[in-house]
Chains A and B, each alone.
Chain A
Amino acid sequence: MTLKSCTHEREVTALLQSGHWPLACGPELRAHVDACSRCSDLVLVTQAFQQGRVASEGRARLNSPGVVWWRAQLRQRNTALQQIARPIQGAQIFALIVSVVVAVGFVVSQARHGLGWLSWWSGLRQTQAFHLETLWSFGSMTSDWSLAVLIAGFGALVLLSGVVLYLAFERK
């Protein structure tokens, strides 16, 4: 299929768009359109589509522009709120990562220093600190220093994890 151009096509298009076809054009142009397949296609199709457009526009069921306006405002607002929430989510993820790193570091350091820690674990029942009355005694705490560090570290870890979990799930 070749794209043959016609010199009258632009003129015919302008007449059709302005609504001047066929009354406001000369007999030569009309004779040309009858003879030229490209221009006759143009006239036939453009007139059919213009009539179709008028018919379709008459059938349009339009909503109130206020409803569309309100929907657009709502969507814009939701998008803005999502943008606000993005740095908060970043902070939550950061806090979670820090908490996990601290926990892992704590466990590793305890494992390294503590073959004593393991021996302490196995010998826990034999220590004085296991007895309730000795827990209240400051003297016994100083004598069993590693136990105090362990309890304090474990407590801090639990507290930090609770805060992180609260921050992470607060929005949900």
Chain B
Amino acid sequence: MTWEYVLPKIDTGEAALAATELPMDNDAFAQFYERSARSLWAYLARVSGDPALADDLMQESYVRLLCASRLDEGEIVSRRYLFRIATNLLRDHWRRPKSTSIEELPEELFSTGDGSASLDSKAMLGRAMALMRPRDRQLLWLAHAEAYSHHEIAEITGLGKASVRLLLFRARRKVAGFLRDQGAGDRTEI
């Protein structure tokens, strides 16, 4: 019995290196990325309220999707899976203990306030979203911006379908109240 017979993968490594092949070729991935990246970034940026974090999590989401070998089930399923990965990454981020290091703070906090981000923060939706809980923001965005069904949201977030329906109903009512109040406030100011 030879050493190569006992540990064949050590000798050639072919089987393991064959696993380094990604499940989608570069061109197909580029097309999928172009079609899905903007909406994923919008989801991450709006739900987290941090564009720099959205940049990082978006890249990580695509890397994990490519490594997960689940791209052969069609674009709709892949896109849903992508949002699921992003949702889990957001959850992990919120669970991590907060750092007070200045390096950890998003650049936007140090900007002069003339960028599009500050303009957007003045919009009613931005203010209303800031008042909502992170999970409610996720549910609202997936339902009303991405137009996912309750069943799809349940798959993405890992919640039960009945829970999604109830939580979404409450969150929608709450955010509608904020939007109406802000609309009335803005009209009063004018």
Given contacts A63-B59, A69-B29, A87-B10, contact A50 B145 (CB under 8 A): yes
Q: Within 8 Å of chain B (Cβ to Cβ): is A28?
A: no
Q: Which residues of A1-28 have CB atoms within 8 Å of chain B's CB atoms?
A: 1, 3, 17
Q: CB distance B169 to A3 under 8 Å? A: yes
Tell me the minimal C-beta distance from B126 to chain A in angstroms. Answer: 8
Given contacts A45-B140, A50-B145, contact A80 B20 (CB under 8 A): yes
Q: CB distance B144 to A56 under 8 Å? A: no
A57 CB contacts on chain B under 8 angstroms: 38-39, 41-42
A79 to B69, CA, bound (A): 14
A55 to B117, CA, bound (A): 10
Q: Please tell me the size bucket of the interface on B.
A: 35 or more
Q: CB distance B10 to A80 under 8 Å? A: no
Q: CB distance A46 to B144 under 8 Å? A: yes
Q: Which secondary structure dominates chain A's binding surface? A: helix
Q: Within 8 Å of chain A (Cβ to Cβ): is B184?
A: no
Q: Within 8 Å of chain B (Cβ to Cβ): is A41?
A: yes
User: Which of A70-78, A117-125, A128-136 contacts the other chain?
Assistant: A70-78
Q: CB distance A17 to B147 under 8 Å? A: yes
Q: CB distance B41 to A56 under 8 Å? A: yes
Q: CB distance A65 to B172 under 8 Å? A: no
A83 CB contacts on chain B under 8 angstroms: 16, 19
A-B contact count (CB 8 A): 137
Q: Within 8 Å of chain B (Cβ to Cβ): is A31?
A: no
Most buried by B among A1, A46, A48, A56: A56
Q: Which residues of A38-89 have CB atoms within 8 Å of chain B's CB atoms?
A: 40-42, 44-46, 48-53, 55-57, 59-63, 65-69, 71-73, 75-77, 79-81, 83-84, 87-88
Q: CB distance A49 to B140 under 8 Å? A: yes
Q: What are 21 residue pairs bridging A and B, where the CB atoms are less than 8 Å apart in the complex?
A: A17-B147, A45-B140, A45-B175, A48-B128, A50-B145, A52-B46, A53-B39, A55-B120, A57-B38, A59-B117, A60-B41, A60-B42, A61-B51, A62-B38, A65-B34, A67-B59, A68-B29, A69-B22, A71-B63, A72-B62, A76-B67
Residues of A at the B interface (CB closer than 8 Å) are 1, 3, 17, 40-42, 44-46, 48-53, 55-57, 59-63, 65-69, 71-73, 75-77, 79-81, 83-84, 87-88, 91
